[in-house]
Chains A and B, each alone.
Chain A
Amino acid sequence: MSVTTTQTITETPTFVEAPLDGRVPSGPIETLWERTKFEMKLVNPSNRRKFKIIIVGSGLAGASAAATLGEQGYNIECYCYQDSPRRAHSVAAQGGINAAKNYRNDGDSVYRLFYDTVKGGDFRAREANVYRLAEVSNAIIDQCVAQGVPFAREYGGMLDNRSFGGAQVSRTFYARGQTGQQLLLGAYQALARQIAAGTVKMFTRTEMLDLIVVNGRARGIVVRDMRTGEITPRLADVVVLATGGYSNVFYLSTNAKGCNGTAIWRAYKRGAYFANPCFTQIHPTCIPPVGEHQSKLTLMSESLRNDGRIWVPRQPGDTRPPEQIPENERYYYLEEMYPSYGNLSPRDISSRAAKRMVDSGRGVGPLRNGVYLDFADAIKRLGEKVIRDRYGNLFDMYENITGENAYKTPMRIYPAPHYTMGGLWVDYYLMSNIPGLFVIGEANFSDHGANRLGASALMQGLADGYFILPATLPNYIASTKLEKVTEDADAVKEAVDNVKRITERLMNVKGEKSVDHYHRELGKIMWEYCGMSRTAEGLQKALQLIPELEAEFWENVRVTGSANELNQELEKAGRLVDYFELGKLMCLDALNRNESCGGHFREEYQTPDGEALRNDEEYAYVAAWQYAGDDAMPILHKEPLKFEYVKLTTRSYK
């Protein structure tokens, strides 16, 4: 790996004229997936054992895929960096999971879920993928219930639902404030069953550090055993990445500390296209930061917006405590600005509105960096007990962190980096442009366009893992001739050497500043210039600052300890190396996209009242970037997006 990093990116990227093909089969969208499933090739049950599939990641996407492909009889290896697959960051999802069951009889349908998701994504997702997602959503709920996921029930024993942002129907299934945990335990248990059955081998505390590509096909990965430091190749017939999102590029985010972009980034450097890297989601309801020691930000589930009302003092600079601000001096800005969705307006819109309030001097709390989320009305209407039943654990968590009792005084919230819609490019079959490399869950770019609706990531992870990949991956195996690969192949040795070289290089800098120091600095740059709102000028600046910081890192970072043992500093350093590079690509992508859409807000492109202004003429495409060398500009491929079912309109929640 070359690391000449000081050059700034000024020229416009070269792009490839030929459109990138998402391989969407033709035909009416309603029957597309059924037909495709029929047309895909199958693998005979007695042959499946002979094919080895590596799945990196044990979150909702990875665990469900590993379990399901194991059940089908394939020979699976599954990897995660935690000490147990049950700890993947899916576990932290609080709010819920969508499905088009229409158990409320309130007008929901597969088509409506499809429509809401395409519109919510601000018309930057592929229609056929989104339709399929909505189509399989119901089977996910069935599967999870059968596994014993204790979803919330009504007194009659039927499943309960709640509402989430960006929808006018109640289609979200939930298990208290721990939906992600319960869904993950369901998938983890299915995985455990396959481990016991011998179809899946699980490798914990093992980090993927490179992808092995042999003759143009993905044939394995290079891993580091985090306990011993041993670096080894693992070969297979197919590689699946289910490694989650990269919000930690911002340092402060709602992701777990270990979440990383390393697996997908190193696959990018082996030729996989990275799609829409600048599409990141800033979640509106997180606890505002309190000081320099802050190591992460905590989400307060969006479901709170069902009962909480968001407001700030109408008068900028009003520092009175909330209870002293009379009703007519409170600005319920979401309710006023977006009357039909109100406090349940989509995330990008709610986040930007909060930023406008704080920027205009209406921020609340000691650092004036938040807005109120107030439950007083709901408590008056429903009683404290109902609110406690619905959100008790969230209120407790809020109190642990802030020391404040939200039953008595309004919560303070502010947006924080949360989810990345961007990720490795995949076709309709969830395969990247490298044959044999599949990407599922948050790690791919596929279904959420420029903005993800709440409760749709859990749905997508499980759709990919339980239902879609287990249908498309066998088709690849059945239609490909896979020659034997051994560890002495040049490509394998080269990949192992590459990982060893990076590791050694990091250990040998022996500088003076910690990894966290540099990560914090990178985070500040990203948040300032590539966060909630962006400008060409700011992005250019970031594209100067990041390489400077990166160069300093390579001169002056201090990685303590040795490479042949458990070494958390080394782990963090390796991830940060990739975040520098990914951060640059995010800025480049944001600079290239001269429009505002969903979570990508370019200040130059807004309507008179400050809403995102899309440019469908020029930017209704997926930007898929191809690595061209450390010192070269990446090459841009465009996958044109056609909207045949959901009419391209300005997204309005007013």
Chain B
Amino acid sequence: MRLKLRIWRQKNAQSEGRFVEYNLDGVSEDSSFLEMLDLLNQQLIDRNEEPVHFDHDCREGICGMCGLMINGIAHGPKAAVTTCQLHMREFKDGDTITIEPWRAKAFPVIKDLVVDRSAFDRIIQAGGYISVSTGQAPDANVIPVPKTQADRAMDAAACIGCGACVAACPNGSAMLFTAAKLAHLNSLPQGQPERYDRAVLMVNQMDAEGFGGCTNIGECEAVCPKEISLDFIAMMNRDLLVANLLGKGKR
């Protein structure tokens, strides 16, 4: 395949970025989107130019490190896949593809297509865990967990922390990410003691990081590679309501 690529190039956080156009020939349909960029980078290196920087690691759709805006859609045109799992057979010979980094106030650009998502880690640090130190656990089968609850927790826990939901949201909101972690822990019996504190603390941190509010647009769910459901946001809002009534969220 032959492609025209429009790629966001930005030297570092301080400098201004701009689109640069590249023509790329000889792309295999069987290659992944990132392998297509590898090919471009190989050619840039051959021409002694700096390759395009992008984040990636597992290339299996699970680490959450990759993430590109492809023709304006987070992780590209195919539903329910990460950028690394998108393959070139989704494109046609002669296509023009525009590639940008995640754009959100809370995700500053580091270089080219690489952004800083450490705000997500700080949301988890604010309360996205169950406070149980090593050695304190009872036998694993002491507390039965109904299969439906375990499955629901797993559905939410599948979030890979990629940030596509934020990038897709016109408000730059991190609701889907935060709600997924809350639903994971709050669906399980082990998560009940801290349930309402957790909801308040994580949402407060989310606001402090500069993520926008949720206006029920649903772009996040549409691009999420793990198909995290908007229902989890509803669950989060219910938990927040109860938490307010109970005066929770102080540690």
Contacts and interface: CB of A to CB of B under 8 A. Distances in A.
Interface of A: 64, 67-68, 71, 82-87, 89, 91-92, 101, 103, 139, 141-148, 150-159, 175-176, 178, 180-182, 185, 188-190, 192-193, 195-196, 202, 204, 227, 256-258, 290-291, 293-296, 298-299, 396-397, 400-401, 403, 466-467, 470, 514, 516, 558, 560-561, 565-566, 568-569
B28 interface: yes
A515 B124 CA distance: 37
Nearest to A290: B30
B157 interface: yes
A254 to B, nearest CB: 8
Given A82-B57, A142-B139, A566-B111, A148 B188 contact: yes
Contacts of B117: 83-84
B66 to A, nearest CB: 10
18 contacts: A86-B64, A86-B161, A89-B63, A143-B134, A147-B132, A150-B151, A153-B145, A157-B145, A175-B157, A178-B158, A190-B129, A196-B125, A291-B30, A400-B81, A466-B134, A514-B42, A560-B44, A566-B111
B45 A147 contact: no
B190 A103 contact: no
Contacts of A565: 11-12, 111
B111 A185 contact: no
B68 to A, nearest CB: 15
Contacts of A71: 133-134
Interface string B72-88: 00000010110001110
B51 to A, nearest CB: 6
Contacts of A144: 140
Contacts of A142: 137-140
Contacts of A84: 64, 117-118, 120-121, 161
A557 to B, nearest CB: 10
Interface string B112-139: 0010111011001110111111111111
Nearest to B185: A148
B59 A256 contact: yes
Nearest to B29: A403
A91 B144 contact: no
Contacts of A92: 58, 60, 62-63
B190 A146 contact: yes
B147 A558 contact: no
Contact of A147 (B11, B61, B130): B130
Nearest to B57: A256
A258 B35 CA distance: 15
Nearest to A515: B45
Contacts of A516: 38, 42
B141 A182 contact: no
Contact of A150 (B35, B59, B64, B184): B184
A228 to B, nearest CB: 9
Nearest to B138: A142
Given A153-B146, A560-B45, A568-B53, A189 B60 contact: no
A256 B185 contact: no
Given A146-B190, A256-B59, A566-B111, A82 B65 contact: yes
A219 B194 CA distance: 39
Nearest to B191: A148
Given A153-B147, A258-B57, A83 B65 contact: yes
A85 B118 CA distance: 10
Given A157-B147, A397-B85, A192 B128 contact: yes
Contacts of A87: 57-58, 63-65, 161
Given A86-B64, A143-B137, A397-B85, A150 B157 contact: yes
A295 B59 contact: yes
A195 B205 CA distance: 15
B125 to A, nearest CB: 4
B134 A91 contact: no
Contacts of B89: 403
Contact of A83 (B51, B53, B116, B138): B116
A148 B35 contact: no
A158 B110 contact: no
Contacts of B11: 565
Contacts of A157: 144-147, 150
Contacts of B35: 293-295
Q: Which 8 A-B pairs have the closest CB atoms?
A: A157-B144, A189-B129, A146-B137, A142-B137, A150-B153, A150-B154, A145-B140, A256-B57
B56 interface: yes
Nearest to A69: B134
A91 B139 CA distance: 25
Contacts of A89: 57-58, 63
Contact of B130 (A151, A189, A400): A189
A195 B58 contact: no
Contacts of A192: 121, 124-125, 128-129
B129 A147 contact: yes
Contacts of A560: 44-45, 48-51
A159 B190 contact: no
A561 B55 CA distance: 17
B77 to A, nearest CB: 13
Contacts of A401: 32, 85, 87
B39 interface: yes
Interface string B192-231: 0000000000000000000000000000000000000000
Interface in B7-46: 11-12, 28, 30-32, 34-35, 38-39, 42, 44-46
B160 interface: yes
B137 A159 contact: no
Contacts of B135: 139, 143
Given A71-B134, A204-B118, A293 B45 contact: no
